[in-house]
Amino acid sequence: MMSNMPYLSRLLVDRGLVLKPRLWAPRTRLMLVSEPRVWKLHGSRVLAGLRRAGLECGMHLLPRGERAKTWSAVSRLMSRMLRQGLGRDGAVLALGGGSVTDAAGFAAAIYMRGINWVSLPTTLLGQVDAGIGGKTGIDLAQGKNLAGAFHPPLITACDTALLETLSPRDFNCGLAEAVKFALVCDPGLWAFIRKNWTQLLLAQPAATETLVRRAAAGKLRLTTRDPQETKGLRDFLNFGHTIGHALELAAGLGPLRHGEAVVCGMRAALRLSQAHAGLAAGASDEIDAFLRLLPVPRLAPRPNSVLAALNLDKKTRAGRGRFVLLRSIGRPVIKSGLPQRSVRRAIQSSLQELRA
């Protein structure tokens, strides 16, 4: 794990040349893509390091948050890439959180029918989830991530020192995604999280670095086995996301952050897991006790709005919603056609938490 930004810049040059020499032809042009806050904290040093190494690199700033994930924002980025002379041998470097890696990776996927890109996630959520696996995309007015492409980055470089600049709210959003991965895929990681929960809530560096290493490596192993979500393995990573995405959309795509929505979605999925997948009440209560310590803002979307948003979920098949539930830790199962009464009760329970 890299320890500081100058070494991160050298890694892109030195190790990148070794990994993929054909990418870095002498005339290769790069586009460093970020957003205003991340750029102020880290961008100029990364750009200076790349230019000192003799690489021709432009820069472009996306809007913050979900506003980066729009057709207009991606179109402006690609127009900048064209003006800077990026060709098929060029590459995009995405420096930021999940919105930046999603949008910049999507631009790389469709620009000139696809060019290489490098993922430089600067948030915990990005380092354990969003910056890994090659899912890129943008939102449509009707819902999150409804346009996109599978386009894996050439390199993902995670520097946990960057997480020192995160707000507690942003850090907790990433912690929620790490919990999700542990619950569905890695009981050993869940045991580590339980044992080190206090250190993780305090963003203690050693615990955080171990969390990133294990979660990122685990997600990479899984997504490599199912790169385009055709074998069902990647579906399990949507635990808490079906209702979570619907809550985000019903709240207006912004007030409720993704990790916060996933916390609520996982708590709803635990209730559904007890009712429809055989999850033991004791296990559900223990997990819920940890999730309750991740704060979420007070919001009040209507249950009918959340139910309507569920119908736009991209995981729906033949008009039937699909939910990732837990039989036990590390044993997920996908259930479709759940009784609407059960789903409504789970949603109402989540909304009560948001209003508490």
Instruction: Indicate whether 13 pLDDT > 80.
Output: no
Mean pLDDT of the chain: 87
Please tell me the predicted confidence (pLDDT) of residue 17: 34
Name which residue leads in pLDDT, 112 or 255: 112
What is the mean pLDDT of the segment spanning 160-173? 92
Of residues 178 and 53, which shows the higher confidence score?
178
Task: Let me know whether 160 and 179 are in one domain.
Answer: no
Q: Based on the structure, what is the number of domains in the chain?
A: 2
- Domain containing 74: what range? 10-165
What pTM value is reported for the model? 0.88
182 and 320 fall within a common domain: yes
Q: Are residues 227 and 343 in the same domain?
A: yes
The 3-state secondary structure of the chain reads CCCCHHHHHHHHHHHHHHHCCCCCCCCCEEEEEECHHHHHHHHHHHHHHHHHCCCEEEEEECCCHHHHCCHHHHHHHHHHHHHCCCCCCCEEEEEECHHHHHHHHHHHHHHHHCCEEEEEECCHHHHHHHCCCCEEEEEECCEEEEEEEECCCCEECCCHHHHHHCCHHHHHHHHHHHHHHHHHHCHHHHHHHHHCHHHHHCCCHHHHHHHHHHHHHHHHHHHHHCCCCCCCCHHHHHCCHHHHHHHHHHHCCCCCCHHHHHHHHHHHHHHHHHHHCCCCHHHHHHHHHHHCCCCCCCCCCCHHHHHHHHCCCCCCECCECEEEEEEECCEEEEEECCCHHHHHHHHHHHHHHHHC
Instruction: Give per-residue pLDDT as tens, 169-220.
Output: 999 999 999 999 999 999 999 999 999 999 999 999 999 999 999 999 899 8
Same domain, 229 and 106: no
Residue 186 and residue 45 share a domain: no
The model's pLDDT over 63-75, given as tens digits with 9 standing for 90+, comes to: 999 999 999 999 9
- Structure confidence at residue 235 (pLDDT): 92
Structure confidence at residue 316 (pLDDT): 62
Q: Are residues 282 and 249 in the same domain?
A: yes
If asked whether residues 148 and 210 sit together in one domain, one would say no
The string of pLDDT tens digits covering residues 267-291 is 999 999 999 999 999 999 999 999 9
Q: Is residue 4 part of a domain?
A: no
